[in-house]
Amino acid sequence: MSADIQFGSLPAITGDDAPRSKGNLAAAALRFGSLLAFASILVIFSLTAPYFFTIGNIGNVLGQSAIAGVLAIGLTIVLIAGGSNVVTGGIDLSLAANMGLSAAVYASLIQFGYGDATAAVGAILTGLAIGAVNAAAVVLAGIVPLLATLAVMNIVAGLELVLTQNTVVPASTDLLTAISTSDGFGIPVLAYILIGFTAIVAAIVQYTPIGLRLYAVGEFPDAARAAGLPLKRLVAGAFVASGLCGGIAGILSVSYLSGSTTGSGEMLLPVVVTALLGAVFSGRLVPTITGTLISALFVGFLVNGFQLLNLPSTLVSGVQGVLILIVVSATTLLRKREI
């Protein structure tokens, strides 16, 4: 299996370059096909599943997508800075475990009698520390991200089990209650957090010099190096930012589940699906924060529709795996056409 997942844009159409023209047509088909598939799923579930297309259910999907969405945004930042190769480029497999340990730290600190401020700082610092370890392993030790983050994932998962003794750690505070409630329209606060968080990160990554440098490092590392950009610092910063997203997701997880629970590793596949699928919702078939948000909603509505129709939940993982295969296969074929 090839490790290359090319998200790069395709060259302009010229009258003498038939293969490239076909590549652009394929890229357009992939992009608009994804949007059409998204719209078709919404229509099908609206017609078949009761209460699917209601404000309350849409709000629930947004709220339920908040944790996976925040994690996927962190992974998207790593994808942007690390490049399209998931072995030597951008990938962070420790994100779900990061969320689990950050949640365990938050809930444990609450159990020890500390307030929300201290617990939140503890969770955020935990996420940042995990991101820093990933950055050191990749940038300083020179370990490929796939292996480095895989090793960190297992270490972090073990630390979570040690801290929680493999049990549920309940936590209930005014802040957690406020985050887990809904407004007068039945829309969860988590939905607003997801939208606000996406807007902030999108503004930074897609409209600031830092974001442009991240894209340059990921897509054109040689040119970025020749231009004098600090590649190692930017890549390290991407992993630290990803760790921060893990810490924030940990806090949201404690609020959503009223405590820390084991089994955070189950979040890894949906997060990878969301981040990879987000590229096909962007204008140039590259990872973007807004594309990741659309992808998170796509996956969220898909899972929600399955639940409303009482379809087996085991089918969801299968569908997510198929989505990964489609995206990887399509983008790899586009790269071959481009070459």
- More confident position, 39 or 62: 62
Residue 10: the pLDDT is 41
Residue 29: the pLDDT is 67
The size of the chain, in residues, is: 339
pLDDT band at 26 (very low <50, low <70, confident <90, very high): low
- Do strands 169-170 and 259-260 pair parallel, antiparallel, or not at all (unpaired)? antiparallel
Q: Round to whole Å and give the CA distance between 247 and 79.
A: 19
Residue 8: the pLDDT is 47
Q: For residue 169, what are the β-bridge partners?
A: 260
Residue 323: the pLDDT is 73
pLDDT band at 310 (very low <50, low <70, confident <90, very high): confident
Q: Round to whole Å and give the CA distance between 150 and 153.
A: 5
Structure confidence by residue, pLDDT tens digits, 154-199: 999 999 999 998 899 999 899 999 998 988 888 899 999 999 999 9
Task: Give residue limits of the domains in the chain.
Answer: 53-264
Max avg pLDDT among 47-61, 69-83, 118-132, 285-299: 118-132
- 3-class state of residue 33 by DSSP: helix
Residue 55: the pLDDT is 82
User: What's the predicted TM-score (pTM) here?
Assistant: 0.86
What average pLDDT score do residues 114-138 get?
96
Structure confidence by residue, pLDDT tens digits, 205-255: 989 999 999 999 988 888 888 888 899 999 999 999 999 999 999 999 999
pLDDT band at 137 (very low <50, low <70, confident <90, very high): very high
User: What are residue 162's phi and psi, to 5 degrees?
Assistant: -65, -45
97 has pLDDT over 90:
yes
- More confident position, 10 or 63: 63
Please identify which residue in the block is written with the tokens 């750690």.
169
Query: Considering the chain, what is the average pLDDT of its residues?
Result: 84
- More confident position, 283 or 45: 45
What average pLDDT score do residues 278-303 get?
84
Q: Round to whole Å and give the CA distance between 238 and 120.
A: 21
Q: List the one residue out of 176, 140, 132 whose CA is nearest residue 156.
A: 132
User: What are residue 91's phi and psi, to 5 degrees?
Assistant: -165, 145
Q: What is the identity of the amino acid at 78?
A: V
Residues in CB range of 144: below 8 A, 6 or more apart: 87, 88, 138
Biggest distance spanned by C-alpha atoms of the chain: 71
Residue 206: the pLDDT is 87
Residue 131: the pLDDT is 96
What average pLDDT score do residues 262-284 get?
82
Least trusted range by pLDDT, from 240-249, 267-276, 302-311, 328-337: 328-337
Least trusted range by pLDDT, from 48-52, 207-211, 279-283, 312-316: 312-316
